[in-house]
Amino acid sequence: MKTLSHLIFLWYIQAMNYEILSKDFTDKLLERFLRYTRQWTTSDSLMADQGIVPSTERQRDFAQLLAQELKELGLTDVSISDHCYLCARLPATPGMEQVPAVGFLAHMDTSEEVSGQNVQPQVVRNYDGNPVRLAGGAVLDPAIDTKLRRVVGDTIITSDGTTLLGSDDKAGIAIIMTGLERIIREERPHGTIEIIFSPDEETGHGMDFVPMDWLTAKQCYTFDGSTGGEIEDECFNAWKSEVVFTGKAKHTGYARPDMVNAVSMMADFLSLLPRHEAPETTDNYQGFYCPMDLSGHIEESRVTVYLRDFDAKSMENRKKAVETFAQAVAAKYRGSAVEVKHTQQYLNMKAKLDQQPHIMANLVKAVEQAGLEPIFRPIRGGTDGSRLTEMGIPCPNIFTGGHNFHSRMEWASLSQMAYGVLTLLNLVSLQADTLSK
């Protein structure tokens, strides 16, 4: 039985969702998002790790579709680089040429962890708060996924349960495109606005070939977050450790005493990784070790372990721990060898963003003006923005209304996406206000 306080809460949530969904741009926002999710843009980490960006040509197909749409909005400075970065610039309106340029980013690819081919988005209007049943027995249940409780009366979009949805990050692209359209159609005063839609963010290579010489904005924002109101200025420090064990092959029937099984070495190594420091056993500011890929045979085995930590010193300890575990295993197997190679993937962006506090201050104000209370949470991952910040252009992350990324249980909130559009419009207006200060 629902209590009076719970009924009041539901009424308040429904009223908020009804108000934002009544905005005249939400139908177009939804149409764009559905159209984008149907585009197959899964990236390929093996190809990207070899320096091939875009890692799949289907990302270029999507870039061309978006480029045409931008041109139809009236933008003339639209280009796609050799590495499939879609760049578009909207010049400042008359009298606003001295306003500092601002950039907005989102990525075109979707994760390869779950199929992104033949996505069939499902639209649930006026969501009633009950479980939503998907194909294959999957259920979106607000008793488990508590974020569903905040979208009663909302329009939510799910996959059909056989694929991911792709709100990561096509919700971000839909927000940026819709915001840009509103600025142009309503003739809002603005400084220079620059857009970059990138390939291969999900592979960790989203900023490898970003055209820095094209970008004039000295501050940017990515739309690649989750729950409405969330803004993020810190993320993991991320490294990967590639561990190679070398054994000695011999006929298994006559292996004693000198066969060394590299597969067994890898298994022993994996058993040493702390179970309480895995992705599925940590949250908030806790770091982890995560074996991501392995292969091998008796003579050689390989495993790639992702290391994540918010603190730089703790990350150094994690790297040393991996080396210690690997050497301990090698010492156990006489005649074996092991090599460990650490590669930096991205760094925590907070220190650099703290050096320019006005960027986050503007973002906080933009979210509040949109009608939401800012929510500060660390990113338990990374974004193109964290890489761009590391490269010298501060770039915090903004919510998109997507949830349960990289899974068949993925869903998106149209009202939260609409708040994202308002946040973008507010950021552009706040940037224009700097001219009068």
Q: Which pLDDT score is estimated for 12?
A: 61
- Whole-prediction pTM value? 0.89
Q: Which strands, in side-by-side order, build the sheet including 237-246?
A: 288-296, 300-309, 237-246, 337-346
Q: How would you class 279 by CB atoms within 10 Å of its CB: exposed for 0-12, middle for 13-18, buried for 19 or more? A: middle
- Report the alpha-carbon distance of residue 67 to residue 65 in Å, rounded: 6
Cβ–Cβ < 8 Å for 43, 169? no
Phi-psi region of 118 (alpha: psi -120 to 50; beta: other; left: phi over 0): left
Instruction: Report residues of the chain scoring pLDDT below 70.
Output: 1-13, 15, 435-437
Q: Which pLDDT score is estimated for 178?
A: 98
Q: Which residues are catalytic?
A: 109, 201
Q: Which pLDDT score is estimated for 179?
A: 98
- Report the alpha-carbon distance of residue 250 to residue 256 in Å, rounded: 9
Q: How would you class 49 by CB atoms within 10 Å of its CB: exposed for 0-12, middle for 13-18, buried for 19 or more? A: middle
Q: Which pLDDT score is estimated for 435?
A: 63
